[in-house]
Structure 1
């Protein structure tokens, strides 16, 4: 007998929910390749459940959710955004997930499965990595297991992924202040739906509408319009009778794949209400298609640096957005570093500047060997993404060292320059917040520039990461950071901020990146797109 139609049990049991996934955001335009070393891998139920703060934080709602089901954790791998995942690693983890789920299913059949992913993973040789992974999982668990997923709003919803999942939701804020709230919501909806199906109830109805708009997150931040108002409509839509959830995926702009586009998904008990809600939000996105603007003023890095140096606002932050590791950039382009080194105001110490950070294991190791206070010649950056100007030579003094899982061995380097005639010794703190550079003995002196190098690709998004190297987010006149939009700690620290449109694997200028496989027409590659004039409600694999 099909488990979905078996009679109502006199003694209802808790649903048995499997959990697994691979979570990474991957640019197909960066030369970097993500490997197993980039990931935090959890195996088994205890390790995986410890990942979720709503289970470990002691709240009543989290405790109730924890007790509402029997969870079976298999494997979860998570990494900082990067390049395409090495195919061999992906296939090994896919096999491990499928074998683990098969064993759990054979021991006692699963009722539900929580697919814990980011949604923008790219794997060498695959067009739709998450679609491929969930298809392999469905082969193991079969069509009767209820599947739910909770994703980053910068993920993609392919038709394959949509068809294989019964419930799909995503974040409603960028920056992602609701990441764990979203996962808790997604898991709770899955447990509720699975429990209802076990009691003989139907699956939720679901609807998908694709909108051919592909925009970077820096144009769709919920801090600004129109994204703020579009996402602001979701609570009202989900409050309607018969609608459980409505979500808007912006899509992932730095992969060249057919699935990369905006998507609206809704699900709930009432088919007409769900379809109407999905089409309404999709229409709102279409109506705003020409209104999306960058979250901050933009310009070339040279222009941004001119404005930052001239400004009276301190600290003045500049995003090196084209090499943002948080979107998949290599994290080692030297376009900005070379220009910082050339600025006379910075070289003379009249302006203090921080460049944070570049991944460079060789330079980080050399700094560790020199030790704090040591001086030496280094060749920094440009080892992964070697676009002009490539590796940059500099002479520096090591002012701080740190070793953490996030960065590996890391070093703060104060750049040395030839001493000005008649220069004499003085002292200041590591951050260079005074107007004069500290003078060294002999023919060289410390400039106003501090550069952070790390052994692992890293994103210095929190005050704690700065503090580990004796730095503060407010201790410099100018801070250049490999970011797109600023994360909350950064945003709070910045007195002013510009988004530099720099080259790299996650270039904000999508047209010059060279997409060739995305569907067309597509904004911003084409002047306009057709309206979502009719529902595009998809039937799933069970039909």
Structure 2
């Protein structure tokens, strides 16, 4: 670089991402995060490749990121192992530089829960700050089902989240977090200040299946976010629904608006928070609901094919253990499905490593008797024993590792070595299953992901038991802040939806909320 050339800002990348139910007996370990390190991280994010608009505007340094499939709480030793490696790698990056680190992209989800720790994303960032210092600009990207505590809002300089559920803007959001970071650095380096943030907690805690942006009122609430962001003096606007399946004081809806104009930031945040609060009575499930039996009755009687049923209480992409056998047990209790010529039903899925091993040894076409499920979560139903013909076997899935389809009666049950979400058509077709030709497809999921939604002729959401029970009132929360909608429906006074203004990072240690 010539003496007259401008130095590129150096930006590190680190973070751990997981969604952890405190009502699920399973545990999440370090390997589940599939950590990426160093250059692997840059290669993973295409928008940071050197030839891209953002890639050539900074010297990006990967430390460590990890994204785990949602599940039970993270074991403390696993978190400490990964957190220590993050801080060590960041320390090595900082030591290699002639100047202080300019920025950090904090790549997180926001609903991670670790044994013995709370508000763990804030705790991780506190440790990171001890290494990178208070002047490095930190920009966080999050899932809208994450949680933004008061402390996390103070620790970060910039923060944003998804604007769609189902999440079709994941990459767009992460890129926006990086773009905002570079803009803030550019303004600071030109003599300007970093932006301030308006943070407003909203006493509402709802499952994602009542807040899908496909439907009202979430559709219009989230449509207002980019309109607020367009205003002069505002850099970013975001609304978090929060995570309903962890019992933690920080869990609730939150609005954060970031920018340089104090009045614009405060006004925008208050408008979004008020819109959310005023709509509280409108939120409803994304589809007709019922017990599993009621959903199955409706599906069998319906003419629409394929008919999808969400076995929602054990959804592995919301934090369920994935091995609850409640739904599949209900299926096998139906006499109309016991014969080979009955309605074609696909059930996804039940983990059973021993069952999978037996099927592998027997081979396709063999008739076997196996037992699967309820090895982790046996609170609602025990292991299920099935006799059927091995329809197909598949190796190499990144989540399941090995998948087996067992046909028993007219039901095709997918058995897995390890739990896996089924979101795409190829998840079925690669197992020699045709969901479009089935009568009924039962999937452990909440709202249907886009490919399934487009495929379904009709569908229902089964309110089944499990660690991510959609009937959140029966889970037993006792540590969330009250009053909280819908746990409380009578409020003696309106909640305080006035913006709490949080200054930029150089004032962090002395900052007080400003009404």
- What band does the TM-score fall into relative to the shorter chain? over 0.9
The Cα of 1:464 is off from its aligned counterpart by 1.6
Match of 2:419 in 1: 457
Alignment of 1:48 with 2:41, yes or no, is: yes
Aligned match for 2:150, one of 146, 156, 159: 159
Q: Look up the match of 2:101.
A: 110
C-alpha separation between the residues in 1 aligned to 2:153 and 2:497? 21
1:533 Cα deviation from its structure 2 partner: 4.5
Distance 2:433 2:43 in 1: 31
Q: Report the structure number with the largest CA radius of gyration.
A: 1
Task: Pick the aligned partner of 2:469 from 507, 511, 516.
Answer: 507
376, 396, 410: which is aligned to 2:403?
410
Q: Secondary structure at the match of 1:208?
A: strand
Unaligned 5+ runs, structure 2: 511-515
Corresponding position of 2:264 = 273
Q: What's the CA shift for 1:179?
A: 0.5
Pair 1:10–1:283, CA change in 2 (3 A): farther
Q: Measured at CA, do residues 24 and 533 of structure 1 come closer, stay the same or move farther in structure 2, by a change above 3 Å?
A: closer
Q: 1:312-355 CA distances to partner (integer Å, 9 max, x unpaired)?
A: 11110000000000101011111111111111111123211111
SS of residue matched to 1:176: coil
Residues 535, 388 of structure 1: CA spacing in aligned structure 2 closer, same or farther, 3 A cutoff?
Answer: closer
**Which sections of structure 1, spanning at least 5 residues, go unmatched?**
1-8, 416-446
- Report if the CA contact (8 A) 1:209-1:264 is conserved: yes
> Residues of 2 paired with 1:367 and 1:535: CA distance?
59
SS at match of 2:466: coil
Residues 112 and 146 of structure 1 are in contact (CA less than 8 Å); yes or no, is this contact kept in structure 2? yes
- Displacement of 1:200 in angstroms is 2.4
Over the aligned positions, Cα root-mean-square deviation in angstroms equals 1.4
Instruction: Tell me how far 1:11 sits from its aligned partner.
Output: 4.7
> Is 1:32 aligned with 2:26?
yes
Q: Which residue does the alignment assign to 2:373? A: 381
**Are residues 1:353 and 2:345 paired?**
yes
* Counterpart secondary structure, 2:501: coil
Matched, 1:259 2:250: yes
> Where does residue 497 of structure 1 map in the other structure?
459
Supply the distance in 1 between the matched residues of 2:502 and 2:193 (Cα, whole angstroms): 17
Q: Which residue of 2 is the match for residue 75 of structure 1?
A: 64
The residue number in structure 2 matching 1:391 is 383
User: CA–CA distance in 1 between the matches of 2:380 and 2:164?
Assistant: 35
Task: Give the match for residue 18 of structure 1.
Answer: 12
1:538 CA drift (Å): 3.4
Counterpart-to-counterpart distance in 2, 1:145 and 1:381: 47
Give 1:234-253 correspondences, 5 Å limit: 234-253=225-244
Q: Deviations over 1:226-254 (max 9, x none)?
A: 00000011121111110111100000000
- Give the aligned partner of residue 194 of structure 1: 185
- 1:142 to partner: Cα distance: 1.1
**In 2, Cα distance between equivalents of 1:386 and 1:75:** 35
Partner residue of 1:205 out of 193, 196, 199: 196
Residue-by-residue CA offset, 1:253-286 (whole Å, 9 max, x unaligned)? 0000011000000101211101110111000001
Q: What secondary structure does 1:66 align onto? A: coil
Shift of 1:364: 1.5
Residue 357 of structure 2 is aligned to residue 365 of structure 1: yes
CA–CA separation in structure 1 for the residues paired with 2:285 and 2:457: 18
Structure 1's consecutive aligned runs of 4 or more residues displaced over 6 angstroms after TM superposition are none
Q: Secondary structure at the match of 2:375?
A: coil
SS at match of 2:160: strand
Q: Are 2:123 and 1:132 aligned? A: yes
1:466 corresponds to which of 424, 428, 439 = 428
Deviation by residue 1:13-58 (Cα, 9 ceiling, x = unmatched): 21100101111111111001011232221111x20012213235x9
CA displacement 1:408-435 (0-9 Å, x = unmatched): 11101101xxxxxxxxxxxxxxxxxxxx
Q: Distance in 2 between matches of 1:251 and 1:102?
A: 32
Preserved CA contact (<8 Å) 1:279 1:532: no
3-state SS, counterpart of residue 244 of structure 1: strand
Say if 2:200 and 2:498, in contact at 8 Å, map to a contact too. Answer: no
| Contact kept in structure 1, 2:346 and 2:438, CA below 8 Å | yes
Secondary structure (helix, strand or coil) at the match of 1:248 reads strand
Q: CA deviation at 1:10?
A: 6.9
Shift of 1:387: 2.1
Query: Structure 2 CA distance, aligned partners of 1:231 and 1:187?
Result: 21
Q: Give the secondary-structure state (helix, strand or coil) at the position aligned to 1:409.
A: strand
- Alpha-carbon distance between aligned partners in 1 of 2:4 and 2:137, rounded to the nearest angstrom: 21
8 Å contact from structure 1 (residues 230, 281) kept in 2:
yes
Secondary structure of the 2:484 match is: coil
Deviation string 1:87-134 (CA, Å, 9 cap, x unpaired) is 101001111111111121122121000000111111111111101101
Report the 3-state secondary structure (helix = DSSP H, G, I; strand = E; otherwise coil) of the residue aligned with 1:33: coil
Contact 1:355/1:480 (<8 A) preserved: yes
The answer as to whether partners of 1:53 and 1:180 remain within 8 angstroms in 2 is: no
Contact map agreement 2:317 2:445 (CA 8 A) in 1: yes
Q: Which of 492, 495, 510 is 1:531 aligned to? A: 495
Q: Say yes or no: does 1:519 pair with 2:511.
A: no
- 2:316 is equivalent to residue 343 of structure 1: no
What is the total number of aligned residue pairs between the two structures? 499
Do the aligned partners of 1:250 and 1:261 also contact (CA within 8 Å) in 2?
Answer: yes
Looking at structure 2, the residues matched to 538 and 390 of structure 1 have their Cα atoms a distance apart, in angstroms, of 50
CA distance in 2, matches of 1:293, 1:224: 9
| Contact 2:201–2:497 under 8 Å retained in 1 | no
